[in-house]
Amino acid sequence: MGVLHLVNSTEGLGRCRDRLGPDDAVILLEAGVYTAMAPSGKPEGMDVDLFVLQEHLSQRGIARTRVRPAFTLIDFEGFVGLTVRHTRSVTWA
Amino acid sequence: MLGERPEVSIRLMKFAIQINDSPTRSESARTGFQFIKAALASGHEVVRVFFYQEGIYNAFIPGDSAEAAIPDWNALHRDEGIELVYCLSAAERRGQANSCPGFVAGGLGLWVDACLRAERVIVFGG
Amino acid sequence: MKPSSPETTEDGFLLEVGQWDETVAHQLAERIPLTLTEAHWEIISFIRKYHARFRHLPNNRMFVKAVEKALGPDKGNSRYLNGLFAGSPVKYTCMVAGLPKPPGCI
Amino acid sequence: MIDSELFDQMLTLAAFDQAITVLFVDDGVYRLNRETGEPVSTMETAGLLELLAFYDIESVWVEEESLVQRDMNLDDARLSVRTMLREDVAGLLARHDVILGD
């Protein structure tokens, strides 16, 4: 099912925003995790499952309370699980 | 009574992994490294790791388990038997020779072969 | 007057691409060593045209495919090309054709 | 000189008889004209596309919005590249087994 979008830069989320299919999901990694912070609510136009890699948030000292509620925190095991559930992935640097 | 059984939640997969960034200039190599360790821990198989573009520097910068900043690819090869292939022409283009233990040189053909054998292809960096 | 032996890189590739002609090709081939026949020239002239047209050098797999596309499957296969060019077709074809070292050749 | 490692990856996949689609998006559209940054209708673009076509890569697309945002156009009839709208990119991605970026 669907495409898993790997976002590893601050520009990446904007780049994939209008290129998402209904069964897709997004995971924020590395510098991409900054885009999980406020403003609150769902990033506009992104009606898909949104995830953020917890380890990369912690490394940057971003508290989970600053992460928009639309994002689910996930560890590496969960990341692997997402790549199993989605048949393909694309990286947005 | 037998109801409908839920689908088995753990499906074991074969992964092909491409690493495209240097371990000292970006986090992506380390992300890929941790992803592979997590995949193996979940019982998945990693068909081959292919180091391409700037990723070839992983084959020329020794890993450091103690610092954990630079992935210890050789340990992954030694302990888990994971095949580590760096692109020879990408390395030559960057003037790199004499790779670290655990790595072998190869061409893009080995990457295509890994893609064809794997069920999931994941690219880190680049 | 041409120098009797063309200057090459450590790997045996012609240093000055502009120096190439048939005599140079024979000299480069002798060092491999290869004796050039019509069959070799067909492949050499193909790679020179390919490079002039695309400014690109193929790797092994692309090369076989490219020869197949240009000259047909009888010539565009590894067995034929390996036999002709001592087991390293893309490397030796480029070398004799006076082109730079192609990607992925050891 | 067409020496991009990304293109070599595509050409190798094609040489293994894999069906390839190429899509230029965002700053990737500059690759259609890497030398000058002028409008994309140049000899070099034609050369790049010719090389892709030589290896049977004929499904070559560029995203309309990416061109427009960069004041680029694709009005040269010699070029075999087609344009698609951003809203159709998701569908294109979903139709492929493997997606490789740069």
pLDDT for res D79: 67
Region D47-74: what's the mean pLDDT? Answer: 89
Region D69-92: what's the mean pLDDT? Answer: 84
pLDDT for res D75: 65
CB contact under 8 A, A30 and B38: no
Q: Which residues of chain C have pLDDT under 50?
A: 1
DSSP state of C56: -
Residue B22 pLDDT more than 60? Answer: yes
| A6, A15, A17, A19, best to mutate vs chain D, most D CBs in 10 Å | A19
pLDDT for res C17: 84
Residue A5 backbone dihedrals phi, psi, to 5 degrees = -95, 115
Place B52 in a pLDDT band, splitting at 50, 70 and 90: very high
The token pair at C39 is: 């069959």
Active site residue B115: no
Q: Does any CB of chain D come closer than 8 Å to the CB of residue C55?
A: yes
Question: Hunting for tokens 């450590």 — which residue is that?
Answer: C10
pLDDT tens by residue, D12-42: 999 999 999 999 999 888 877 644 444 444 4
pLDDT for res D71: 84
Q: Give chain B's contact residues with A (Cβ, < 8 Å).
A: 11, 13, 15, 26-28, 31, 34-35, 37-39, 41-42, 44, 120-126
Provide the 10 A C-beta neighbour count for residue D18: 16
pLDDT tens by residue, B30-39: 999 999 999 9
Q: Taking CB atoms and an 8 Å cutoff, what residues of chain D touch A21?
A: 90-91, 93-94
DSSP states along B26-65: -SHHHHHHHHHHHHHHTT-EEEEEEE-GGGGGGGTS---T
Task: Using the Cα atoms of residue C55, residue C58, residue C64 and residue C66 in order, give the sign of their dihedral.
Answer: negative
Residue B103 pLDDT more than 50? Answer: yes
Percentage of residues in chain D having pLDDT higher than 70: 77
Out of C56, C64, C66, closest to residue D2 by CB: C56
Which of B112, B116, B90 is CA-nearest to residue B21?
B90
- Non-local CB neighbours of B48 within 8 Å, separated by 6+ positions: B16, B17, B82, B83, B84, B85, B110, B111, B113, B114
Residue A20 pLDDT more than 70? Answer: yes
Place A77 in a pLDDT band, splitting at 50, 70 and 90: very high
pLDDT tens by residue, C79-95: 999 999 999 999 999 99
* Chains in contact with B via at least 3 Cβ–Cβ pairs below 8 Å: A, C, D
Rounded to two decimals, the ipTM of the complex is 0.89
Region B62-70: what's the mean pLDDT? Answer: 72
Least trusted range by pLDDT, from B16-25, B66-75, D56-65, D74-83: D74-83
Residue D47 pLDDT more than 80? Answer: no
pLDDT for res B84: 98
